[in-house]
Structure 1
Amino acid sequence: MAAVTSRLSGRQTCAPENEDLSDEQMQELLEQAAARLRTQATSAQITRQEEQVFRFPRLDAGALPKSYVRSDGHVAHLDSARLLTEKDRKLSSQARKVEDPITVKKAVLEKKKATTGSDWFDLPRTDLTPGLKRDLQLLKMRNVLDPHRHYKKESGKMKAPEFSQVGTILQGPTEYFSARIQNRDRKKTFIEEVLSGEAETGRFKKKYGEIQNTKTSGKKAFYKALKAKRAGGIKKR
């Protein structure tokens, strides 16, 4: 027995060497070959349908910029003027400063802590100068300046605010005659205003005299003043 290969089906059929294939065998081989052809045709049709379904649209790149590389035959030429912009060319020709990121972050945090932030109009940190310290102390003792005004009593020592700013109140044009302060009465600090008011009224000096009279009542100073008053009365007689 020898193996016989069919060109149509590719299958091998065992048959005697000297014997021809029977009609039944030939019919079987032809049917197998026809089935194989139908399968191949169906697969090819499915592949063409898939290509039509999944075909990507053609992209339009538009007007592309001119390339900075041009070819002259087998030689390529480079346009170096188009590799960098004029700004980058200037930066590359000078020394550049490289900052430490930790130092930069620290400086940003210090700058942020120097003010109260945008929610509080960026008030700066208080610079406690001697003049500002005196003004704050005077504000704390403002209840003794005017006996007709009463302020909320404060307890504890004077503590300067962490954030503050000193400004000047500008009077409007409608207050020129009603609430205008003359230039000779304008002072730079609160201390100068208080001293100027004391020079006009003499209230503190008078108050000091009343306190001293109360303290010296019934003591040597009071007795000496009484003797001097009596002596003066005798001489007049």
Structure 2
Amino acid sequence: MATLGAEGFLESEGWDQHELSEMKSLLQRAEQRMTELNPASKHMMKATNFCKLPKLNPEPIAQPYITSTDGIARADRTRLVDDKDRQITARRIENSVSMKEKINKEKSTAGPDWFDLPRIKLSSGLKSDLKILKLRNVLDPHRHYRSDYTRALAPKFSHIGQIIEGPTEYFSARLPNKDRKRTFVEEVLANERLTGRFKKKYNEIQVSKTSGKKAYCKFLKEKKSGGIRKS
């Protein structure tokens, strides 16, 4: 019996040397024919022996600009600007106290372009006058004013003054001193005492709101029976 050894040669166990030599020659011829028919297989076998992956040699990896500490993302400010740009830029050092004073001074007036109008301080009386000015279309139904949809009662920078009559204005066009009031609220209340328009309007609204209710039916019964007299 013949077996194939580790180096590819036949080892004999009771075989004749002549037979072994013939068998070896046949195997060599067969191998030679295979290489002649397919010569690329030999080069492929050599290529597979020398085909190896190159070793990776990465350069130092840049650290990220943003780091997370305790679940909070923080950016490294020193790395946000290049060192060359930081050297070119000129640094200007200012006192923080003077900067705050400058900001407060700038905010106290509207600036020279607006005649240095001061920042207005709204008092309770001034707020009432401004609210009446916004509702001036309700005071007189025969006058129509432009709609005002602004939420602010007054601009941030404004000034309140008094209009003085000119010498050419006729005396009958002026309001007598006894009818003049200090505020708009006092003028509206004085006018209401003469006309009673707001009271009348309030009663009309209340009648429409209580229509169909028990108090409204009671009011109609008393009015028919003469219990209520119209003032």
> What is the TM-score with the length of structure 1 in the denominator?
0.49
Equivalent of 1:204 in 198, 206, 213: 198
Amino acid at match of 1:185: D
Q: Is 1:112 matched with 2:106?
A: yes
Q: How does 1:84-99 map to 2 (within 5 A)?
A: none
The equivalent of 1:55 in structure 2 is none
Equivalent of 2:222 in 213, 228, 233: 228
Question: What are the Cα deviations for residues 197-226 of structure 1, in whole angstroms up to 9, with x where unaligned?
Answer: 111111101111222222233332232233
Identity of aligned residues (%): 60
Q: Is 1:161 matched with 2:155?
A: yes
Q: 1:184 to 1:224 in 2, by over 3 A?
A: same
Amino acid at match of 1:194: V
- How far the C-alpha of 1:196 sits from its partner, in A, is 1.1
Q: 1:113 to 1:187 in 2, by over 3 A?
A: same
Unaligned runs of 5+ in 2: 1-93
Q: 1:220 to 1:104 in 2, by over 3 A?
A: same
Within 2, Cα distance between the matches of 1:130 and 1:229? 42
The equivalent of 1:130 in structure 2 is 124
Unaligned runs of 5+ in 1: 1-99
Within 2, Cα distance between the matches of 1:180 and 1:212? 38
Q: How many residues align?
A: 134
- How far the C-alpha of 1:105 sits from its partner, in A, is 5.4
Secondary structure of 1:178 counterpart: helix
Q: 1:123 to 1:210 in 2, by over 3 A?
A: same
Runs of 4+, deviation exceeding 6 Å: none
Please say if residues 131 and 153 of structure 2, whose CA atoms lie closer than 8 Å, have aligned partners that are also in contact: no
- How far the C-alpha of 1:166 sits from its partner, in A, is 0.7
Please say if residues 192 and 198 of structure 2, whose CA atoms lie closer than 8 Å, have aligned partners that are also in contact: yes
Please say if residues 119 and 158 of structure 2, whose CA atoms lie closer than 8 Å, have aligned partners that are also in contact: yes
- How far the C-alpha of 1:101 sits from its partner, in A, is 6.5
Within 2, Cα distance between the matches of 1:220 and 1:187? 43
> What is the TM-score with the length of structure 2 in the denominator?
0.50
Please say if residues 116 and 163 of structure 1, whose CA atoms lie closer than 8 Å, have aligned partners that are also in contact: yes
